Amino acid sequence: MILVTGGAGYIGSVLLRKLLEKGERVRVLDTLFFTEIGIKEIMDKVEIVQKDIRDVDESVLDGVDSVIHLAGLSNDPTAEYNPVANEEMNTVATEKLAKLCKKVGVRRLVFASSASIYDLGFFAPDDIKTEDSPVEPRAAYAVSKFKAERVLLDLMDENFSPVILRQGTVFGFSPRMRYDLVVNTFVKDALTKGRLRLNCGGEMWRPLVHVNDAANAFILLSEADEKDVKGQIFNLCYRNFRISELALRVKTTLFEHFGIEVDIEADYSNFKTRSYRMSNEKLKKALGYVPETTVEDAVVDMVKKIEEYRYDDFLNPIYYNIKWMTMLDEMSKTIKKLGRIF
């Protein structure tokens, strides 16, 4: 059995379907704060443990052979909204889960880290980062992920085999859809506003990877021979893009496939943004894995799936992590005071 923490999330919803297609038995640990929308079609095929990652005990690992650890706060805005919770979920809870794995004999834990660890700001040297590049993460989210990496590697021994995947910015359609990721945001803005706005003129770099390719990478690392992955950090990206190029690719694809015309507006008023590039060569050489889904294919698929799933209620806060989490936080305070809703 495989335990997937955060299995009802943006990547997790795609990953679960792939695991089930392979015939795997899957247990999902998730708060379901974003509801069951991403897994409602497969809920009868997986075991669900609705619990906060900070509250896990060893019972969640009963019968588990390996863990794919996706749970935690997942971007800069949510981390900055509550830095304490960010530290607790992304670092402290990861350490607790790893120690439980060691205690009960679960050898393999694949950890979802982030390429934002490489970010040194817009004006930093423009070089391509490898897994051996020195890092000095600054933002709360990146710091929490980096500290979790250190914890996992420190806990590694002959009985525990952690693997770390530093993902680039993920894009593409998921049953638990997000419109707060750059390509997805561009598609949403194109469909709703007919224009794309580029901060810093779109000059910043991002490493991109499709959600399907990310899910495949997690499966690959969970199944690979221990000698090839134990204690290793792997970058994951399809390609590095300037944001301006992404905008042009989205604009061209929407017109060629759907006849949708989109304007692009450049804003040079704010240069307080992230910019970084990274290499996927280590993962390619070690396991032969190269992400392959293009931005163009993802945009076409996204437009079709948005209509199919009726995810065109673009103002719904559930598609935006920080909007949804802050709304839940405010609601929890109100409910705590009143004691009930109805």
Q: Does the pLDDT value for residue 279 go beyond 90?
A: yes
pLDDT of residue 270: 76
Residues contacting residue 313 through CB under 8 Å, at least 6 positions apart? none
Nearest to 5 by CA among 45, 44, 55: 55
pLDDT of residue 274: 85
**pLDDT tens sequence across 58-81:** 999 999 999 999 999 988 888 898
pLDDT of residue 121: 79
- Reported confidence tier of residue 115, pLDDT bands at 50, 70, 90: very high
pLDDT of residue 130: 97
pLDDT of residue 341: 80
Its pTM stands at 0.96
DSSP state of 110: E
User: Which range is least confidently modeled, 42-46, 120-124, 209-213?
Assistant: 120-124
Sheet holding 161-167, edge to edge: 47-50, 26-30, 2-5, 66-69, 108-114, 161-167, 233-236
pLDDT of residue 12: 98
pLDDT of residue 217: 98
Six token digits for residue 290: 């190269």
Domain spans in the chain, listed from the N-terminal domain onward: 2-325
> Which one is the CATH code of 2-325: 3.40.50.720, 3.10.310.30, 1.10.150.20, 3.90.190.20?
3.40.50.720
**pLDDT tens sequence across 18-29:** 999 999 999 999
Which residues are designated catalytic?
A: 141
Q: Does the pLDDT value for residue 147 go beyond 80?
A: yes
pLDDT of residue 48: 97
pLDDT of residue 74: 85
